[in-house]
Amino acid sequence: MNPIVQSNGLEKTDYAFRMRYETLRSLLNGNARALQILSDLEADLNHFHSSDWRIRRPVMRLIDEALLMAQELNLLTNHRHHTLYDILEQIRFKTSAIFSKTITQDNDFICVQLKENSAKQSGIVGGKAAGVAFLHDIFPGSVPDGFVLTTSAYRLFLEENRLHEKLRLLLKDMDVITDRDQFSSKTESFRTMISDAQLPKKIEKIIDDQLSTWDVNTWAVRSSAIAEDGRFSFAGQFETLLSVPSSDLKTAYKQVLSSRFLDRAVIYRINCGLKEIDTPMAVLFMPMIMPIAAGVIYTRDPQDPTANSMVINCVQGMADKVVKGTVKADTFYLSRQAEPDVVDFIPAHGTKTENHRVTYITDKKLKEIGGMAYQTMQKLGSDVDIEWAVDENQKLWLLQSRRLSIADSEKHKEIRSSHGVPLLEGGMTIFPGRAEGEIFYIDETMPKQVPKGCVLVVNQPIPDLAQFLPDISALLAVHGSPIGHLATLLREYAIPSLFRMGNMANYLPKEKLISVDATNRKIYAGSRWPGIKERVMARLTQGIPVKSSSPLFKLVLSLHLIDPFSARFKDRYCTSIHDVIRLIHEMAVRAMFHFGDQHNRIFSKRAKQVDTTLPIRIYALNLEHSWDSSSKKISVDKMNSLPFTAFWQGFSDTRLFWPKRWDREFSGLPADFREAVFGGIRGPRTPKDANYLMVSKEYLNINARFAYHYAMLDSLVGLGDHNNYVHFRFHGGGSSNIKRERRSRFVEWVLRESGFSVDRRGDLIIAWLRRYTQKESLSALTLLGRLMVCARQLDTMMHEDAFVKMYAEKFLSDDFSAFAF
């Protein structure tokens, strides 16, 4: 019946056991497929809308897979988990409802004219272009015509160049990369890929057609991402090219597209929690206006939202320098009404007392700008800022508009400090509030990163600084315009900040702790307000509160059942497919070892203790046949499992340090000291808990419970590449959250460097390697063996962030002495 088994001289497999094994195999296969779909979905939800078949189909497939796994679990547990069927059906109905609601995207809009109705749909033309189209509707004569290469054009561009697949592969880890060099080299490869790519013939033709219908020689080419100028402004994060000659339009298109992957744009996107799919890039082409004056109008004063005034910032010539915040602009204040008056003026140079007006723009023009802005605001129902330009014929053009985000200043009103002498006073409030932190200066060169929680002091508030915003507690600028891009971003991030502090800001004590009161424009030495530091840090770790972009996320990808020992690790607490899959897997493994299950006594008889000198107790079960029954222990070399042998080679590596051995050798040490070394808050760790492993010739499953840690390894390594996989899950620990998370980041680092795909949530690591060769899969198992030993106590040592990288590098260079603690 089974020649292989018989020819090996081993016991004939009994039928019941065989079926059980096959059921588990099938369940684990399903688990592998399901995890694959989940991880693909996680990436694909960044690229496609939920209406796309590339989302809909895998979700449906995933539900089928989960259903089959549930059936298999029920086979193993005597139908104990039948409620999972109903849970899955509910999820299926809910996801179907989402799919039937989403409207299918029309892929035919490659190019849209601004005056067309569809140009007002930001899903097609991006936020910026939609804003312009809206303006165009209100003031048809005052907004330049133009055309948009839509987000569909962008998708076509990616698809024809096979960039989707490449981007997806590369983007997978972007939001978890902490090494800035690695990050920059990745974003650079995106940009190269885009600028290297060919424009699709269809798009080339459209650009040629457009050029022949427009009597225009120079163009303004602007990015218009989906999320741009919406809830998040992306102010200045993408490229705008001015004065582009017609002949360069195609190159300019690609250049603007590639700006999507500038470091600062990618970081900004990640910080906002936006997914790739939320920001596909449309590009807006408008005839270039050569202005004699240009600027921005705000329908509400960002510095003083309660004042009933509008603000115009303007310069002679082109406005781009104002927007970038590098050149000082003249500031006019207008009354906030349908026919506004100019009520105040602050010149860019000189002081307010020299009450003379500039010559390049008249009050009449300023009032006209104010009137139009007021009208736009009324139509939109919210405050706006509008970029405008006046050409040499004194014609006023509106170039773009967006909603204005202004802080709720009421909250900060009562903050008044009464005592102490400030180090520095003055400047202009960009965003109010109090903060404290150590001073960090940025002058000429842009650093890779800034210390978390610092007060950043800069000369010019340029948009490149946006990348640091999630890490800083406050920002002080010597110069700066309140309506530059960075100011917009600071408001969005709600970071207390002061501009135009003057040169004195350069003399604040370096690396000293200061307290900033941006509301009252005062800087103090030292720590001044209790609780502020904690609040700042809480904000920094939390980031901008994000809702995941896809309603599917909650039903499919989110994982709530993380701790298998928790009381909530039960069928009825499953709310997503991911939960169901996670639960099934855990319960199936438990069923095999029948934790507390009378029904499966047969397996406890088969399990044998692994004979090892390592201070750890492991029980093993051979799924294909029984081992010789004369001994209660099984020696390592009789396991007859390819993946186990590889794993054990790493696990029992003599260069590794086992704390229990150390414990034995230093048994005379005081208990409290030992506890400090071995244990975290929950006391010393002992290997008293049993660990379980299941093997067959090509299969290995390990459930290791090192006291407070939990590690699961599941691997199939056969002849070919196609079915090979190594799955690894790791979490827990007795030390503080932050240390455990650092330890997880160490594990993540090592695994990524070793070719694994990794999903880390807090201190939970899920890593996998699929379809690698036998040799690669086996060496990955050896690595995991070492890693499990090295990482098990590492959390207690993770006192600093920098240790993550240090330990990872040591581990990867086989320097295991560092793990001898």
Partner 1 sequence: MDKKLKIMIIDDENIVGKRLKPALEKTGDYVESFEDAKKALERFNSEPFDIVVTDIRMDEIDGLEVLEQVLSKSNQTKVIIITGYATVEVAREALAKGAFDFIAKPFKPSDLRAIIDRAAKRSAS
Partner 2 sequence: MFALQKGDDKHRPYIVAETKIKADNFNSKMGENTLKSLFDLLIPKDKSKTSVNDIRLEFVRFRKLLENSRALMSLMEDAEEKMRGEYIFDRQYVLSLIDESIEYMSMAAFDLSVIAQDASEMIYGLVDELKAFTQTYFIERKKDIQISSPFIDLAKTTSSEPEFVFLAQVLAWMKGPLPNGNVSVTEFVRQVFDKAVPALKKADMSNPSIHLKKLAHSTLNCFHLIDMDEAVKSKMELSIHELKCRPLITMLTSNATANHSIAQESADAKWLALMEHDRLSLRGIINSRDILIEVTQSGYMDADFMFMFISHPLISNTLFPQNFKTLMTDKAIFGWSYHLSDYQIEQSLTHIGTSLFN
The interface partner of residue 196, options being partner 2, partner 1, none and the CB cut-off 5 to 8 Å by kind, is partner 1
CA distance 229 to 135: 14
Work out whether 185 is an interface residue with partner 1 (CB under 8 A): yes
Summarize as ranges the residues that interact with partner 2 (CB under 8 A): 1-4, 15-16, 18-20, 22-23, 25-26, 29, 53, 57, 64, 67-68, 71, 74-75, 78-79, 82, 85-86, 89, 93, 96, 718-723, 773
Q: Which residue lies nearer to partner 1 by CB, 250 or 535?
A: 250
Matching residue, tokens 């510095």: 303
SS3 of the chain: helix, strand, coil, percent, to 5: 45, 20, 35
Q: Which residue lies nearer to partner 2 by CB, 67 or 712?
A: 67
The interface partner of residue 511, options being partner 2, partner 1, none and the CB cut-off 5 to 8 Å by kind, is none
The interface partner of residue 602, options being partner 1, partner 2, none and the CB cut-off 5 to 8 Å by kind, is none
Q: Which residue lies nearer to partner 2 by CB, 15 or 507?
A: 15
Q: Which residue lies nearer to partner 1 by CB, 185 or 542?
A: 185
Work out whether 162 is an interface residue with partner 1 (CB under 8 A): yes
Residue 21 · residue 28 · CB < 8 Å: no
* SS3 call for 147: strand
Between CA 284 and CA 290, with CA 285 as vertex, the angle to 5 degrees is 125
Nearest distance, CB of residue 41 and partner 2, angstroms: 16
CA distance 7 to 77: 33
Question: Binding residue for partner 1 (CB under 8 A) from 172, 254, 522, 578?
Answer: 172
Question: Binding residue for partner 1 (CB under 8 A) from 142, 189, 417, 640?
Answer: 189
The interface partner of residue 4, options being partner 1, partner 2, none and the CB cut-off 5 to 8 Å by kind, is partner 2
Work out whether 755 is an interface residue with partner 1 (CB under 8 A): yes
CA distance 558 to 759: 12
Query: Which candidate, 327, 188, 205, places its Cα nearest to that of 263?
Result: 188
Q: Which residue lies nearer to partner 2 by CB, 625 or 685?
A: 625
Nearest distance, CB of residue 464 and partner 1, angstroms: 24
Residue 803 · residue 742 · CB < 8 Å: yes
Site string for partner 1, 705-724 (x = CB under 8 A): ---------------xxx--
Nearest distance, CB of residue 763 and partner 1, angstroms: 25
Work out whether 107 is an interface residue with partner 1 (CB under 8 A): no
Nearest distance, CB of residue 559 and partner 2, angstroms: 23
Q: Which residue lies nearer to partner 1 by CB, 632 or 722?
A: 722
Q: Which residue lies nearer to partner 1 by CB, 169 or 338?
A: 169
Matching residue, tokens 């240390």: 739
Query: Which candidate, 454, 613, 637, 470, places its Cα nearest to that of 545?
Result: 470
* SS3 call for 644: helix
Work out whether 776 is an interface residue with partner 1 (CB under 8 A): yes
CA distance 527 to 436: 7
CA distances from 416 to 531, 535, 552, 777 (A): 16, 18, 46, 63
CA distance 700 to 717: 9
Residue 86 · residue 74 · CB < 8 Å: no
Nearest distance, CB of residue 771 and partner 1, angstroms: 5
The interface partner of residue 166, options being partner 2, partner 1, none and the CB cut-off 5 to 8 Å by kind, is partner 1
Nearest distance, CB of residue 16 and partner 2, angstroms: 5
Calculate the dihedral angle through the C-alpha atoms of 40, 43, 46, 49, rounding to the nearest 10 degrees. Answer: 0
Q: Which residue lies nearer to partner 1 by CB, 165 or 689?
A: 165
| CA–centroid distance for 305 within its chain | 32
| 92-117 CB burial, b ≥16 within 10 A, e <16 | beebeebbeebeebeeebbbbbbebe
Residue 545 · residue 474 · CB < 8 Å: no
The interface partner of residue 25, options being partner 1, partner 2, none and the CB cut-off 5 to 8 Å by kind, is partner 2
625 token code pair: 């046949």
Work out whether 177 is an interface residue with partner 1 (CB under 8 A): no
The interface partner of residue 185, options being partner 2, partner 1, none and the CB cut-off 5 to 8 Å by kind, is partner 1
* SS3 call for 373: helix
Nearest distance, CB of residue 585 and partner 1, angstroms: 21
Q: Which residue lies nearer to partner 2 by CB, 81 or 752?
A: 81
Helices 163-171 and 180-196 sit at what angle, rounded to 10 degrees? 180
Rounded to the nearest 5°, which phi and psi values hold at 449? -155, 170
Nearest distance, CB of residue 31 and partner 2, angstroms: 13
Where do contacts with partner 1 occur on this chain (CB under 8 A)? 162, 165-166, 169-170, 172, 185-186, 189, 192, 196, 198, 720-722, 755, 757, 769-773, 776
